């Protein structure tokens, strides 16, 4: 028997889509000279596109709202997303502009250095953003396109569906937090958004700015959240890190799907943490995102660890 598809309705991801050129090196570059890569991968990237591809691979119905140039890079980005099962009819291509791309260097410990190119002249206005289809159940927005993402979150709020915000660098506005029903920060994004040095203080301050549920990811140190007034923590699954690129995006995509399916928050965080752990163990950015069968098998294999409270 195959793994069932998600029964959640349409999830719309909003924000950046890129083409990634990923180089695995023996050591992180520290001076201006020539380096030889031991591994290479070329694939789609960008936070919102990674969310969408993750949702699709996990069996969800998903569309992407994003801006691209009318160029060969954009053609490749769209083709790969369509191949993953992402609905790309919500994307807009701008003539005379260039699509975003990244050069990424990954060291043997899985840490990465990213050089991102974005066309600074690409229009930011969100007047073309489509209305949410009636079968929409969630919006997941990144921090890379504030104008469009705020519109998407506000429409989700007005429609009474999940409005999920990825609170990553360069930080998010109070207006965006207020539009969200759930904010999942990175630790760096939480600090940039709240100007608090501790995770608990940052989450508590964020909770004074918005009625959204507040979550913060900490990479290999797990994830923390506010459960009412209680500060809670879930350790990370223990895996050998090969490539951390896109792990946070995979986490957010899986979280949005889990929440849209009606999973309780703690279970949804376990689900999304498992998806991110699998990705970290594989080289190649979002190429390493799991499908649903892989994710469920991974969680089953770690069930005893979860019962013992030591993930």
CB 251 within 8 A of CB 272: yes
DSSP-assigned letters across all residues of 125-136: --TTPPPPPTTE
Model confidence band, residue 162 (pLDDT cutoffs 50, 70, 90): very high
pTM: 0.94
- Tell me the domains of the chain and their CATH numbers: 10-28+37-122+133-302 (3.40.1190.20)
User: How would residue 10 be classed by pLDDT, with cut points 50, 70 and 90?
Assistant: very high
Residue pLDDT, tens place only, 221-279: 999 999 999 999 999 998 999 999 999 999 999 999 999 999 999 999 999 999 999 99
Three-state DSSP class for residue 238: coil
Report the candidate in 92, 103, 18, 21 with the shortest Cα–Cα distance to residue 52. Answer: 18
Nearest Cα to 279, choosing from 259, 295, 268? 295
Cα 282 to Cα 142: distance, rounded to the nearest angstrom: 23
Cβ atoms of 142 and 14 within 8 Å: the answer is yes
- pLDDT by residue (tens digit) across 206-231? 999 999 999 999 999 999 999 999 99
d(CA 165, CA 184): 6
* pLDDT value of residue 311: 44
Sign of CA dihedral 56, 62, 64, 70: positive
Residue whose pair of structure tokens reads 């223990």 in the numeric block? 238
Taking only the tens place, the pLDDT of each residue in 113-158 is: 999 999 999 999 999 999 999 999 999 999 999 999 999 999 999 9
Residues 6+ apart with CB under 8 A from 67: 91, 92, 94, 122, 123, 145, 148
* Per-residue pLDDT at 304: 67
Model pLDDT for residues 29-67, shown as the tens digit of each residue: 999 999 999 999 999 999 999 999 999 999 999 999 999
What's the confidence (pLDDT) of residue 5? 76
CA distance 198 to 140: 25
Contact, 239 vs 207, CB < 8 A? no
Tokens of 137: 């159940």
Vertex 10 angle, CA 7 and 16, to 5°: 130
pLDDT of 306 reads 52
pLDDT value at residue 3: 63
Closest C-alpha among 130, 66, 57 to residue 99: 66
Confidence band for 310, pLDDT divided at 50, 70 and 90:
very low
Distance of alpha carbon 289 from its chain centroid, rounded? Answer: 11
Does the pLDDT value for residue 1 go beyond 90? no
> Backbone phi, then psi, for 27, in 5-degree steps?
-150, 150
């Amino acid at each position: 028997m195959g793994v069932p598809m998600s029964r959640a309705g349409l999830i719309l991801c909003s924000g950046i889509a890129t083409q990634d050129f990923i180089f695995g090196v023996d050591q992180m570059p520290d001076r201006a000279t020539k380096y030889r890569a031991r591994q290479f991968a070329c694939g789609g990237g960008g936070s919102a596109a990674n969310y969408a591809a993750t949702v699709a691979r996990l069996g969800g119905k998903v569309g992407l709202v994003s801006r691209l140039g009318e160029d060969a890079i954009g053609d490749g980005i769209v083709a790969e997303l369509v191949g993953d099962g992402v609905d790309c009819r919500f994307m807009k291509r701008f003539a005379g502009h260039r699509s975003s791309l990244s050069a990424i260097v990954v060291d043997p410990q899985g840490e990465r250095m990213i050089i991102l190119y974005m066309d600074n002249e690409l229009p930011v206005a969100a007047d073309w953003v489509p209305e949410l289809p009636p079968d929409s159940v969630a919006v997941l927005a990144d921090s890379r396109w504030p104008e469009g993402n705020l519109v998407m979150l506000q429409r989700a709020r007005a429609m009474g569906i999940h409005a999920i915000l990825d609170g990553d660098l360069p930080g998010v506005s109070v207006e965006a937090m207020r539009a969200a029903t759930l904010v999942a920060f990175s630790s760096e994004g939480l600090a940039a958004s709240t100007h608090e040095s501790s995770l608990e203080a940052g989450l508590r301050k964020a909770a004074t700015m918005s009625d959204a549920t507040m979550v913060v990811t900490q990479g290999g140190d797990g994830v923390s959240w506010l459960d009412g007034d209680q500060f809670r923590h879930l350790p990370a699954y223990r895996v050998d890190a090969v490539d951390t690129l896109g792990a946070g995006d995979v986490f957010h995509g899986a979280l949005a799907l889990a929440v849209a399916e009606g999973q309780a928050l703690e279970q949804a965080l376990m689900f999304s943490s498992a998806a991110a752990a699998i990705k970290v163990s594989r080289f190649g950015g979002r190429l390493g995102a799991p499908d649903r069968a892989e994710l469920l098998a991974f969680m089953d294999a770690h069930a005893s660890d979860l019962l013992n409270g030591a993930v």
